[in-house]
Chains A and B, each alone.
Chain A
C-alpha cells in the first residue's frame, strides 16, 4: 500500500477509539408532558449510558416503573464492561493491518469490524427486547399484548411517548473510519520496482 493509503487505514483503525468519548447510539423520548427541547433522552456509549440532560436517566427509570420495566443501571449491564477491551482490540488489529500494509489483511480487518458491528447491533436489539418485554408482572400499567421495545433505528409510539432511536456521532465517526479504510483498499497499490 502507498503511504497515503496506509495513513487512511491508520485513521480508520483509530476511529473505534473515539467511541470512548462519543456516543454510539441515541434514544430520545417525547410526550405531551415532555415537549422538545425538554424531552428525555439517553446517550449510549460503549462503556456507559448517560442521560442527555443531567437527570434524564433517573427520570426515564422513574417513569418506566409504571410499566414495570427494569431500571437501566449502567453498572449492571455486562456489555458496557465487555465492549471497551473489544474496541481496543479492534483498533490494535487495525493498526497491525496498517503496519503490514497488505490489502488482504486490511480487508480482513474490515470484515472483523463489520461482524463485530453486526453482533453489537444484534446484542443491542436483544437488550432493547429484554427491557421492553421482560416486564414486572405487578406493573402498574398493563396493556394486553403491549410491549415497550424501542426501535433499533427510527421512530415508534409507545403509549404517550414517541421514542426515536438513531446512530449518534460515535457511530458516524466509526463509519467514516471504515469508509476511509475501504477507500484505502481501492487505491492503486505501490508499483514494486521490478
Chain B
C-alpha cells in the first residue's frame, strides 16, 4: 500500500513537472509546439486513445499500431518480414505466408496501409498493405490484428502504387514502379522502350470474407507508376494513378526521367475493365504467383502457386484508360472527399495541380485529346484543370483532407505541411515539420468522411529531435492539431522502420471486436491437443511429433526420451488457457529457429533438429504466472541409430 502511495505521489509530481515545464519553457523547449500541447496529448494511465493509427514500417516490412493523440506504440503486426519474437515465418503454421514464386522470402518493404472501405469510409474490417520489393499485397484482419492473406503480383516490380482500394473495397489495386518485359525475359536493358511494359493489377476482394483474387491486369506503357487513389461518389468507377518517367529512361532516372515538363495521372475506368473482362476481351497469359492464405479454423497457412492472369490491352479496350498531363514527376495522387478533385503532387513542380473529374469526363465525351500513347488518349492539361495552388512550397508529395473544405499537402523539400482551401486553392496556413515530411495522415483523410481533428506528419529525417543513438537514428511522426484555423504541433513520436503512408480510424470502430482468446472448441488445427490426457509423442520414421499442451504453469509432457540425432522433431504446442492475455512461450536449446509465442486456445508448431546426444532443456519464454520459472522440461536425445524407446510422462 505504501509503495502504491509513493508511486502515485511520484507520478503526480512528474505530471506536475511536465505541466510546469510545458508552460514555462514553451516554444524554446518544444520548437513549434503549442503551449498546451502536453495536456492535449496526455492520455491518463488506464485511459484509452481516441484513434488507432496504423503506420507502415517501410523497410521493417511490418505494420505498427499506435494510439492517437498519445503516440504510444501498442503492437507491431508482422506482415512481410519474419518476426522471431512472434514466430512469424518461423513456425510451421506461418512459414507458407512468406512463400513467393521465388521461394521463401524473409523480408520486404511495406509502404502503404489502406483500410477497407464501405461507401467510401473505413469500415474497420481489414487493412491492406503492399510489399514493394517482391510485389505482394497483404490483408490484415482488424479483429485480431494478424496477417491473413498475401497475394503475389506477377508481371510487376516495385509494387508502389498499391494497395489502394475502390470505394467499397471492390478491388485493391497495384501498379508497377519498374516496368519489365511482360512476360519477363532475357533482353537487353537498352531495349527498354521496345520491350518494357508496366502493369496495373486489380485484385478483387470478397465483401464478407475479404478473400483476394487477382482479377485482371492492364498492360500500360513502360512508365513508372507511383501512387494511386480511388474515385468516390461521382467518380466511383474510376481509379487514378500518378506516373513519372514518361521519358522511358532506363538509366540515371534522376536526370533522364526529369526532362518532360509534364508527366501523367492515369485515369482508369475499372467498371469498363470489368465489362471487357466479362466479354472475354482479356488475354490469359502464363504468370506464376503465390497466393498464401491463413485459415482461422485450422490455424494454419497454406501457399498455392497459381498460374495465369488475364491481361487487358488499352488499344483493344477503348475507354478503360486516359492520361491526364500533370506537372513533372508527380508522386501523390489524392482524391478529395467529394470525388470531384484529383490532386497531383509534382515533386519538381512549382504548383499543386488540382484536376477536375467532371472536366475530365467532359473532355473524354468531347474527344478532346492531344495525342495517343499506345492506344491511350492523352487529355489536355488545361481542359481538365480545376485550379492550381500557387507557391505552395517546395516538393509537394501527398495530400489529405479534413472534410471541412481544406486540403493538407506534405512538402518534402521545404519540410512543411501546407493547408489550402479546396474552394479557391489559396494557401491558408503552413507548419514546419522536423524534418522532410513524406506522407501525412488525417484519420479517414483519404475517405469520404474524414475525422479532421489531427494531421500526422511522417518524417524522413529527425537529426536533432531525439537523443542521438549513433549514426542510425529513429524516424518519427509528428502530431498536429487541425481543429482550429492554424495547425498546432502537439507531439513528436518515434516510429519503427521508416514510416511511409499511414491510416487512422476512431478506436470505437474496432475496439470492441478485438479477439481476446481463440476458443479451444473451435481450434481445428490438425495437431491440436485439447486436453492434457491427449498429450502424446509419435514417431513416423525419423519424424517425431510431440503433441504438447501449455497451461499455467507447466508443459505436458515435460520429460521426453527416445529422440535421436537425425530426427526431425515437431513440437505441436496448444495453449490450453482460455483467459485474456495469458500467452505461453516455448523455446528449446540449440534450436536453429525462433521461439513460439502461443496465444490462449492456439496451436503452433516449431521444428527442431537436435544435433548432439544429451539432455536438451526447454522452457516457457513468456512470464505467464508466478511459477513461470518452473515451467520447463527436458528432452533426452540419444545417438543416431540407438534403440532408445520413445517415452514421455
Partner-B contacts on A (CB < 8 A): 38, 54-55, 58-59, 62-63, 66, 140
Contact = CB atoms under 8 A, between A and B. Distances in A.
Interface in B55-74: none
B551 interface: yes
B8 to A, nearest CB: 15
A66 B517 CA distance: 22
Interface string B157-194: 00000000000000000000000000000000000000
Given A55-B517, A140-B627, A62 B580 contact: no
A59 B517 CA distance: 12
Interface string B495-522: 0000000000000000000000101000
Interface string B528-572: 000000000000000000000001100000000000000000000
Contact of A62 (B517, B579, B626): B579
Given A62-B551, A62-B552, A55 B578 contact: yes
B402 interface: no
Contacts, number: 18
Nearest to B627: A140
Nearest to A59: B579
Interface of B: 517, 519, 551-552, 577-580, 626-627
What are the nearest 10 A-B pairs in CB distance?
A55-B578, A59-B579, A58-B578, A59-B578, A62-B552, A62-B551, A55-B579, A38-B580, A140-B627, A55-B517
A140 B577 CA distance: 18
Given A55-B517, A58-B578, A62-B552, 7 more contacts: A54-B519, A55-B578, A59-B577, A59-B578, A62-B577, A63-B552, A66-B626
B519, B577, B579, B626 — most chain A CB neighbours (10 Å): B579
> Taking chain A's interface residues, is the majority helix, strand, or loop, or is none over half, making it mixed?
loop
A38 to B, nearest CB: 7
A58 B577 CA distance: 9
Contacts of B519: 54
A162 B578 CA distance: 21
12 contacts: A38-B580, A54-B519, A54-B578, A55-B517, A55-B579, A59-B578, A59-B579, A62-B551, A62-B552, A62-B579, A66-B626, A66-B627
Nearest to A141: B626
Contacts of A63: 552
Contacts of A62: 551-552, 577, 579
A80 B237 CA distance: 64
Contacts of A58: 578
A38 B519 CA distance: 17
A63 B553 CA distance: 10
A152 B141 CA distance: 45
A54 B392 CA distance: 57
A103 to B, nearest CB: 53
Nearest to B551: A62
Contacts of A59: 577-579
Contacts of B552: 62-63
Contacts of B578: 54-55, 58-59
A65 to B, nearest CB: 8
Contacts of B577: 59, 62
Contacts of B580: 38
A55 B580 CA distance: 10
A64 to B, nearest CB: 11
Contacts of B579: 55, 59, 62
Nearest to B580: A38
B599 to A, nearest CB: 13
A108 B486 CA distance: 81
A38 B551 CA distance: 20
A186 B222 CA distance: 97
A38 B577 CA distance: 16
